[in-house]
């Protein structure tokens, strides 16, 4: 079994058959041209209705190795797709806008939702929606844009019984304040 030290190694897909006690590496997500392993962080995977897996990965500058050398914006997302339950992955594609890390949710409407932190002014939490399985995204939908600084993010969303989306994240409520867990309840257009 392949083992990695915390913080080292590539982004991998893993599987467990014993409730999470032991894990086996199924595959390694490919890297975008001119990037290195240390550019990749905090992947999230969503299952599409047809069984394909869509992964979004946060990419950012590594010490002495800017992602701009690969034509990618710092603190943004790459997308890849698996058509065989994670055994292989298509080459990743930069989404071309600021924001990370991703959290994916397949909504009952059939839309794929992703929430992410936005660490440029105006600071806050944003969402993007795909109605075609990740082939295109409507992005930078503002959930909140009142963060006093860039210390924020890590949103996580669930769908409530009425179809609304409940997103929890951390962010300061005011300048000089401490970070808190905050939330936004929002709806998607049909």
Assess whether pLDDT exceeds 80 at residue 1. Answer: no
Assess whether pLDDT exceeds 60 at residue 4. Answer: no
pTM metric for this prediction: 0.93
**pLDDT band (50, 70, 90) for residue 18:** very high
Q: How many CB atoms lie within 10 A of CB 105?
A: 18
Distances (CA, A) of 47 to 31, 53, 119, 156, 188: 21, 5, 27, 16, 19
pLDDT in tens, 41-100: 999 999 999 999 999 999 999 888 999 999 999 999 999 999 999 999 999 999 999 999
For β-strands 123-130 and 153-159, DSSP reports them as unpaired
pLDDT in tens, 139-182: 999 999 999 999 999 999 999 999 999 999 999 999 999 999 99
Around 86, how many Cα atoms within 13 Å sit in the side-chain half-sphere? 16
Give the span between the Cα atoms of 94 and 92, in whole angstroms: 7
In percent, the amount of the chain with pLDDT more than 90 equals 92
């Amino acid at each position: 079994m392949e083992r990695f030290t915390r913080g080292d190694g590539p982004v991998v897909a893993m599987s467990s058959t014993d409730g999470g006690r032991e894990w086996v590496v199924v595959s390694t997500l490919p890297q975008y041209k001119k990037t290195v392993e240390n550019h990749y962080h905090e992947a999230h995977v969503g299952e599409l209705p047809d069984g394909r897996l869509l992964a979004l990965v946060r990419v950012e500058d590594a010490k002495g190795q800017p992602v701009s050398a690969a034509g990618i914006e710092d603190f943004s997302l790459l997308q890849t797709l698996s058509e065989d339950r994670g055994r292989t992955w298509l080459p990743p594609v930069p989404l071309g806008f600021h924001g990370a890390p991703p959290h994916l949710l397949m909504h009952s409407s059939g839309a794929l939702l992703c929430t992410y932190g936005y660490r440029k002014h105006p600071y806050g939490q944003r969402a993007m929606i795909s109605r075609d399985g990740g082939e295109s995204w409507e992005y930078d939908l503002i959930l909140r844009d009142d963060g006093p600084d860039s210390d924020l993010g890590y949103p996580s969303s669930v769908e409530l019984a009425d179809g609304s989306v409940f997103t929890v994240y951390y962010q300061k409520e005011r300048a000089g304040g401490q970070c808190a867990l905050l939330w936004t309840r929002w709806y998607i257009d049909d």
